[in-house]
Amino acid sequence: DAKTTQPTSMDCAEGRAANLPCNHSTISGNEYVYWYRQIHSQGPQYIIHGLKNNETNEMASLIITEDRKSSTLILPHATLRDTAVYYCIVRVVNAGGTSYGKLTFGQGTILTVHP
């Protein structure tokens, strides 16, 4: 699976949008971009995933560049409870639509939301 690069840490003011970048310049055509987050001492939580189109759900939006070499996770109105480590992961999905299942976690971005 392609490697991702994320900033080590970011700050965001409560109520503002948090924009978390991820670089995945070696991504291949059958790799999806996934985002998870991990609040301290808890298991990771799935946020969103996408292939090439922008995606939005109740938690966040995912913006993928046209060349798919980078993406941005957007938390539109960050709250203190969004303070966590955010992981950007690229993951193969095979032609049959069933992924290989493995998630390879990097170091992620520590997002701190402050009052």
Residue 97 interacting with other proteins (CB under 8 A): yes
CB atoms within 10 A of CB 32: 17
What's the rounded Cα separation, in Å, for the pair 28 and 108?
A: 21
Q: Which is nearer to other proteins, 76 or 106 (CB)?
A: 106
Residue 108 interacting with other proteins (CB under 8 A): yes
Which window, 19-27, 34-42, 54-62, 74-82, contacts other proteins (CB under 8 A)?
34-42
The dihedral built from the CA positions of residue 104, 99, 62 and 27, taken in this order, carries a sign that is positive
Backbone angles phi, psi at 16, to 5 degrees: -90, 165
Which window, 8-16, 67-75, 76-84, 93-101, contacts other proteins (CB under 8 A)?
93-101
Decide if 84 contacts 112 (C-beta within 8 A).
no
Judged by DSSP in three states, 67 sits in coil
Q: Which is nearer to other proteins, 70 or 109 (CB)?
A: 109
Residue 87 interacting with other proteins (CB under 8 A): yes
Contact residues toward other proteins (CB under 8 A) are 32, 38, 41-46, 49, 87, 93, 97-108
